Structure 1
Amino acid sequence: MEDPIFLFYYKCILCILLCSLVNAFTLKDEQNLHTTLLSGYNSNLHPGMNRSVPLNVSISFHLSYLKEFQEYSGKFSVNGFFIMNWLDDRLKWDPNSYDELLDTRFPQDILWIPNLVNSNPFEKIFGLGSKLISVEVSSSGNCKWIPYQSFNVICDVDVTKYPFDTQQCAINFFLWGYKDKEVDIQFTSSIVGFNHYKHHGIWDVFKSETQKRLSPDGYSEIIIKLWLKRRNAYYISNLIIPMFSISLLMGFAFLLPLVSGERVGFITTVSLSYIVFLTIVLGKLPESSEPSSAIICYILMIFVMNGSISTALVIVGLRMHEAPRDKPVPNLLKKIVSFNYRSSKIEISSEVAPSNTKTNGFTEAVEENISWADIAKLFDKLCLIFSTIECVLLIIVYFCLVL
């Protein structure tokens, strides 16, 4: 009696050998097939026996890498590939005549392929694929072409909300030489494939769209749209926080003691730091002002102008502090200081009125004793308050506009 385990393994090995013999075609079989199929084949004529019916080409796009996006030049570079399928009746064969040869491959330059040409290139016009890429053909005449390529295109940049901006870039292709009634290209999916995508360090692709559009002349235009969102953690920590932190220091120049003699130097240093920030930002942004310049540039320009105004105010305050005691003080300034004294009980450098003087009356004797030093103290206080309020308001307005 035979061992059942031995019979089981014997049958398994026999099945494996039979399966391996199914596709036991040779190199000569494939060479004969290529010779037969390419005999009389004209790659300049698109497939389809009935010319009144358009050739259907299914297409999908898959993104691999986002190489770079240069805001100042508008250059948008990605790596990706198309998957295209169509039926070419001229490439059909009977697998039984070639030892069950079910599929083969041809270089793309000897077969007809959809002639897609990039219509918004950054440098020069280019088509898809290369001599290194082949077309996979099955015995039923189905052709599958997967051209992998690097695409460098022009993208209109909108840096209004930089560095919290989002960008929309498109890669456009025309089916050159064939109208829609001859070759009908249809996307198999309305979005881009991301199965092979590797994340970029600066940009996130948060939305995609694929669409076909007909030109007025009846030619098909293939459009691949990508929406990008900037990863802004780096910019927040290295640009936004330092910029607004320095802006808060602007008003503190009016708190520096006069004896230090550093007021003008301090405010000038702060103003120059804004010019440095503005230079850095402008070096990364395009010169075009359409659709709008970056909001951060306007904020920096306001800070630069504030630095100039604050420098002038510091000089004016110093002049008040150093004014001669015998120089008369205008009555309007005396009234302002006296009103501030009644409301906030601020000390004045002059001799205060007698103890029986009522605050709400604030006698003429006290007003007469107000000097330019008292005016300068109030002037410094007001400059500090206005500078701080303005800085806080600019911060609030900026984030309301960009977020």
Structure 2
Amino acid sequence: MLGKIWFLLFLLAVDCYTINQEISLQNTLLNGYNRRIRPGIDRSQPVKVTVGFNLVALQEFSETDGKIAVVGAFRIRWIDEKLAWNPASYGNDLYSTKVFFGDIWVPKFVNLNPYHTLKRVGLDDMDCELKYNGRVDFRPPDLFESTCDADVTYYPFDKQSCSLLYYIPGYNTADVIILTESSNFNMNLYNPNGLWEVIDTSLTVETNSFNVQIIHLTISMTRRTTYYIAGLLLPIVLMNFIQLFVFLLPVESGERLGFSITVLLAVAVFLTIIQDKLPEASEPNVSLLTYKLLVDMIIGSGMILAVVIGMRFYHRSDEIRIPQILRGLTRCYLCCTQTPSIKPDEVVQIESEKLDIESDKSSITWTDVGKAFDIVCLSLFFFSLVMNNIVYFITIFVKI
């Protein structure tokens, strides 16, 4: 039994290549190799470069700066006949080796829409894997940053689509043909983003009018809205309707005007917060939430104006004549709110009192006019706020 084990170890030792053989292989492959000349024995045939992409994380997407940053790695593969060898000459099992990116010809992909400066994919001291048949595998990881103009029309229920563009400078389709390994990203190593959910990815190659191929790495994502609903939309809606209580606040308290201005300032603060989070450009559209808050501020300003007018009604002297339109409005208010309880034995007496009230115009005071005006304003502004919110949410959810 022991003899068999030694025999197997001997066979393994015979078939295992040594470090000297690998050094000899690399010296042979790289001796006289010119990395400035693209692969291909037949110069009339372009080099076929296959590209894929592994997405690891969506690092950042900034609507204000128009920037997207992702962490990932390209998968680049091509055939270089000058780097092929016979494994039988190197221990019979030397089928692959590693060389530096800067030692051989590689397709140097450059970002066509960079956020900062032009940057190529890969570093000179990164390793490429060589196969005995001349196949080269290169998987450079990096943080990839590009520009991306956000469409914030439906913020915070928006969906965004960004493309990172890459091409090989100095080569057209007569020299290099770019093929896609897959039409989508590899998401096996992806770590979900807390703010954005990636709903789709695509990897395509487009040839422009100069016969230069451009790789499109496209990411489609939708915003996670739980935080915005709880921390933005609900407070805004609640503040809008709290503002209506100013017409129920007793005028004797003297706090009506201060209450209205305070709530209006709170709405203005939310408008400022939203504007700080959104780009300053007006294209393709301004956020619908900005328009909604603008209408809320207009309605709030109208409430302040109504409060001032109502306070003037309350503090007017009863010696000043009440206009007919205000008198008619007040009569409707009194009929709806001051209906006395009727007893069977008092029907005749109440009927006579109604006739006396209708004939006595001086029974309506400016205080009654102020109360009627408050009810009308409460109903009018309540309807305005409800319609503003309904129009906004219907517009949002129809699009979604």
Scaled by the length of structure 2, the TM-score of the pair is: 0.92
Residue 93 of structure 1 and its aligned partner are, at CA, apart by 0.8
Residue 280 of structure 1 and its aligned partner are, at CA, apart by 0.9
SS in 2 for 1:337: helix
Are 1:65 and 2:65 counterparts?
Answer: no
Partner of 2:240: 247
Residue 131 of structure 1 and its aligned partner are, at CA, apart by 2.5
Matches within 5 A, 1:119-130: 119-130=112-123
SS in 1 for 2:169: strand
Residue 17 of structure 1 and its aligned partner are, at CA, apart by 2.8
* AA aligned opposite 1:94: N
Partner of 2:345: none
Residue 337 of structure 1 and its aligned partner are, at CA, apart by 2.5
Are 1:295 and 2:288 counterparts?
Answer: yes
Task: Give 2:143's match in structure 1, choosing from 150, 154, 160.
Answer: 150
Unaligned 5+ residue runs, structure 1? 1-6
Residue 181 of structure 1 and its aligned partner are, at CA, apart by 2.3
SS in 1 for 2:164: strand
Q: Is the deviation greater in 247-256 or in 126-135?
A: 126-135
Change in CA separation of 1:36 and 1:210 when aligned onto 2, cut-off 3 Å = same
Deviations 1:131-160 (A, max 9, x none): 231110011111101111111110011111
SS in 1 for 2:177: strand
SS in 2 for 1:85: strand
Are 1:159 and 2:152 counterparts?
Answer: yes
Unaligned 5+ residue runs, structure 2? 341-347
The 2-side partners of 1:257 and 1:14 are apart by 103
The 2-side partners of 1:16 and 1:288 are apart by 73
Preserved CA contact (<8 Å) 1:248 1:391: yes
Matches within 5 A, 1:70-149: 70-100=62-92, 101-149=94-142
* AA aligned opposite 1:324: S
The 1-side partners of 2:394 and 2:8 are apart by 70
Deviations 1:261-282 (A, max 9, x none): 1111111110010111111111
Matches within 5 A, 1:295-374: 295-342=288-335, 344-346=336-338, 355-357=350-352, 364-374=358-368
RMSD value over aligned CA atoms? 2.1
The 2-side partners of 1:364 and 1:164 are apart by 56
Change in CA separation of 1:15 and 1:281 when aligned onto 2, cut-off 3 Å = farther
Deviations 1:75-117 (A, max 9, x none): 1111111111111000111111111211111100111111211
Are 1:170 and 2:202 counterparts?
Answer: no
The 1-side partners of 2:254 and 2:394 are apart by 39
Partner of 2:375: 381
Preserved CA contact (<8 Å) 1:214 1:221: yes
Preserved CA contact (<8 Å) 1:203 1:230: yes
* AA aligned opposite 1:380: D
Partner of 1:186: 179
Change in CA separation of 1:297 and 1:16 when aligned onto 2, cut-off 3 Å = farther
Are 1:47 and 2:39 counterparts?
Answer: yes
The 1-side partners of 2:169 and 2:374 are apart by 72
The 2-side partners of 1:29 and 1:275 are apart by 74
Residue 289 of structure 1 and its aligned partner are, at CA, apart by 1.0
Scaled by the length of structure 1, the TM-score of the pair is: 0.91
Are 1:400 and 2:394 counterparts?
Answer: yes
* AA aligned opposite 2:41: M
Query: In percent, how many aligned pairs have the same letter?
Result: 33
SS in 1 for 2:171: strand
Task: Give 2:191's match in structure 1, choosing from 190, 194, 198.
Answer: 198
Partner of 2:384: 390
The 2-side partners of 1:135 and 1:251 are apart by 69
SS in 1 for 2:130: strand
Preserved CA contact (<8 Å) 1:117 1:127: yes
Task: Give 2:265's match in structure 1, choosing from 262, 269, 272.
Answer: 272
The 2-side partners of 1:17 and 1:378 are apart by 104
Residue 58 of structure 1 and its aligned partner are, at CA, apart by 1.0
